[in-house]
Structure 1
Amino acid sequence: MKKLIIPILFLLILPCSFGFKQDFTKPVQLDWETHFKGQADARSPFYALTAMTWKYSYESTVYRNRVAIKLKNEVTIDKNRSWVKWDKIKDPNVRASLLHHEQGHVNIQYILLSEAERVLKNRNYSVKNYKAQISQLANEISNYFDTMQRNYDDETEHGSNHKMQARWDEIIRDKMEESRAATLANSK
């Protein structure tokens, strides 16, 4: 039996800029027509690219040597930079499998969003250097999830290793449930 390799590239951009709202109840559900409007890179060995951006900002208040922050945190999908090579995925089963894999990337970003919300809000920051502390924490979170995204692609062979894809589906589902529960517990 010939193995079909579906190369996919995931692009993550992590600027520290302003984000304004996020629905923490569930991740965005991808569909080809809505989220992949960019021009495909003919030189890329991958069949799809999902471009996402994590944005965060905060307002800080210092009171009695304590820093409280009001966090604004969001993940967006850049539809104009996300693309798919339609000529490479004509089979409906291949399309569905590829979209499922790409949804895994979005779900990992949802976990990042939830974890950033939990970690950044629930720290005691030093009045003298809270900006540096927040920036460092955000970079650590970003690096952790960037590594997770690369491992997801490497271990699933960009979605073509169905056994590993099923394993990662379970890992992602469990992490989403943990993050959702932690976020709800912290909001009480």
Structure 2
Amino acid sequence: MKTRLIALLFLLALLCTFAFKQDFTQSVQLNWETHFKGKADMRSPFFALTAMTWRYSYESTVYRNRVAIKLKNDVSIDKTRSWVKWDKIKDPEIRASLLHHEQGHADIQYILLLEAERVLKNRNYSVTSYKAQISELANQISDYFDTMQRNYDEETEHGSNHKMQARWDDIIQDKIEESRTAMAELQK
């Protein structure tokens, strides 16, 4: 479990070539053939790894003691670093269950995308320290969702605890709806 966690955190931190850019309408729907092209880590006790990264950048304008930012915010899946041990998931039920669990990771990243958009865009920043403020908020968001990813894996036992997986499915769906609602309110 620690090996997978370390690998996941390492991969989340890497900036590399990504398979696609995320939009705000829905979470990417993972599939084995498209998103898992990397070489499997045979030393890992796990059957799959989804490598994801959140990136943001912004342009700022200062006008009359106010800072306005134009945020660019995206989530990516790195298909060359995401892998699956095909020999371990020959059974269709195991294959579907594992993909469902990995989809939960992608859905959590989608929630991060929505929350980062909401939080980073809708703040009043100090003209003298807005760069540090934005950086601090982004770090807090990243830390929160890294913890959520770890908790998801630990509590579901990487998808093998079906009762906890169902509980997390509900948590994730509730968070998606909550984040979408919050964004819609801000756009009014």
Corresponding residue for 1:83?
83
| Percent of paired sites with the same residue | 79
Equivalent pair of 1:14/1:55 in contact (CA under 8 Å) = no
Code of the residue aligned with 2:42 in structure 1: it is: A
Q: CA deviation at 1:102?
A: 0.2
Code of the residue aligned with 2:60 in structure 1: it is: S
More helix by share: 2
Q: CA deviation at 1:187?
A: 2.0
Structure 2 residue runs of 5 or longer lacking an equivalent are none
* TM-score (normalizing by structure 1): 0.91
CA deviations over 1:71-123 (Å, ceiling 9, x no partner): 00000000000000001111000000000000000000000000000000000
Q: CA deviation at 1:23?
A: 1.6
Q: Which runs of structure 2 are paired with 1:46-85 in the superposition (5 Å)?
A: 46-85=46-85
Structure 1 residue runs of 5 or longer lacking an equivalent are 1-6
CA deviations over 1:38-92 (Å, ceiling 9, x no partner): 0001111111000001010000000111101010000000000000000111100
Q: Which runs of structure 2 are paired with 1:158-173 in the superposition (5 Å)?
A: 158-173=158-173
* TM-score (normalizing by structure 2): 0.91
Equivalent pair of 1:16/1:57 in contact (CA under 8 Å) = no
Partners of 2:154 and 2:4 lie apart in 1 by: 10
Partners of 2:59 and 2:149 lie apart in 1 by: 29
Q: CA deviation at 1:14?
A: 4.2
Partners of 2:15 and 2:129 lie apart in 1 by: 17
Partners of 1:15 and 1:33 lie apart in 2 by: 22
SS at match of 2:185: helix
Structure showing greater relative contact order (alpha-carbon pairs closer than 8 Å, 6 or more residues apart):
1
